Structure 1
């Protein structure tokens, strides 16, 4: 079963607030906080996924609470104390999301990594090779991400149709040799929901790549299903599929600082449709 994302809950609440025509003094602060929640959700690191799931439940309960669900004719004006209470609940969600982000142990940028390197080497006295191994084993890698929402790719013949979903940049300050350590794809999507023949796979799928590294298939949609499905795929340089000499290892090793990793939604053959609800791509890179 499809589970709505925290971004979608925040967007839904914002839309209901706009439709209820709150006075600007009550409406705009709520819209601002909801946009902050959406921003944190888009930028969430993998390590904080559990905390974000909890807050998604909290904001879902808020959306279902009275009076957001009542029609405008019944509730022509809501503000004052109610808006104040909702704002406090939303601020609590923001604070929890920010804490989850901070406690994920993902460096904010290369400076954090170099600072740890300096502490371990100069202040504690560990040799640099050991410091580098500690940072690597701790997976203390910088993260960048890209996302998109709500697009459809339709094919009318056997030509592959595609649309760029999103991009994530490999930071320019990462190490020179094999900086890309992990890629995480989170995809919510489905195809047109039916098929005419005996195809055993959906002719709607997603690819990742760049001009330097070429492309790889990420995942196909569930065959002939209208239900939105979540696909969460991890590609690690050091995972079994990414062991030295494998095609995945060779592909990930092609990326260097300053390059972009792009995600594409694809469809092929007549009447096949790739309905994309949301795509998030995260790249994790080593600095030392």
Structure 2
């Protein structure tokens, strides 16, 4: 068996303690069928000294949940891993820029469609008034540009004043009601190949689709427009990607919009993969053989 490292959360962060071990177990089972053993290691143990990572032919950051809570340290780690030449996939350069959602603005320069978005720092009531005016929306979504799992994400109706808006860099978008009626389509790619797709809808009365908020997940064949957008996004990203999850939603006019290109630590939804993660494991095996 070939041993590879898999980043896991900071052991002092209890936020995802009840979730990530089962995700790691599904990954490990898929890898084992390709003769690969996953060795878990907290990403926070390799920020100041990355030398231990050089003992492995490959390092997967795919369970490094919670990095957004300690972003400065994450960026420090990315620099250390890149400097040491640690064999991360996806590469440390991708882990750095993908950790801040302002990358979505750069993708629009390559004609990738995203919801109308305003970028602000330390958002004020005036900023929200401007956003309502510019977008014509009745409801806005406000979230930090460094975030994860709907952390500090707000849904704000016209006329409301949030009591505790997220500090620092934020993005403001109109709320797309289609997230409730049609859901978000997430597509998984491994080694550049499409693997499977999942439709995610919020529970009744909520707007968040994450499993911790009782989001409803259903395996689907992706609509043609969603898949075309996902392929456009991947073509616009020039770095080599071992894995990617592309999250999309149709707007009110039926145009597919990119919500996220998840390239760091996405849940692959292997429990909804008809192949049980075989595509992921095969991509890892191919990467090892190419080294």
Q: Fold match, TM over 0.5?
A: no
**TM-score between both structures, scaled by the size of structure 2:** 0.29
TM-score (norm 1): 0.29
Greater length-normalized contact order (CA 8 Å, ≥ 6 residues apart): 1
Work out which of the two has the higher radius of gyration on C-alpha atoms and give 1 or 2.
1
